[in-house]
Amino acid sequence: MIMSARGRRTRGVPRNMPVMTAKCTTCPFGEHGDLQVQASVTSRLLRASQECHSAGWPHASHLCRGARAWQRQVLHRMGFLLEPTDVAWQKALAEIGDK
């Protein structure tokens, strides 16, 4: 599932939706990110991937790099990813049959 920048469900599984290569300057997960927005996003990141709020809203084309970094760290700590990297993320998806 994908969550929009406003916290609404938008589509099913984000197949083939790229992740931003870097955090946006206004990313809630960035150095000067909005902690209230960050808390709102992290509250749902184990259920959904987050669209980048600055990548073409309302028709976002990319997932949020900051949110994906958070997901990778948590899933690595839980033992679902061997390491907190995009490569490990893709490998885990391939292992469960979801590309």
pLDDT of 52-81, one tens digit each? 887 655 567 888 999 999 999 999 999 999
Return the H-helix or E-strand segment holding 50. Answer: strand 49-50
Query: Is the peptide bond between 58 and the residue preceding it cis, with omega within 30 degrees of 0?
Result: yes
Contact 3, 46 (CB under 8 A): no
pLDDT in tens, 14-61: 667 888 899 988 899 998 889 998 998 888 888 888 888 876 555 678
Q: Which pLDDT does position 52 carry in this prediction?
A: 86
Residue 15's domain spans which residues?
A: 2-95
Tally of domains within the chain: 1
Confidence of residue 98 (pLDDT cuts 50, 70, 90): low
The pTM of the full predicted model, rounded to 2 decimals, is 0.77
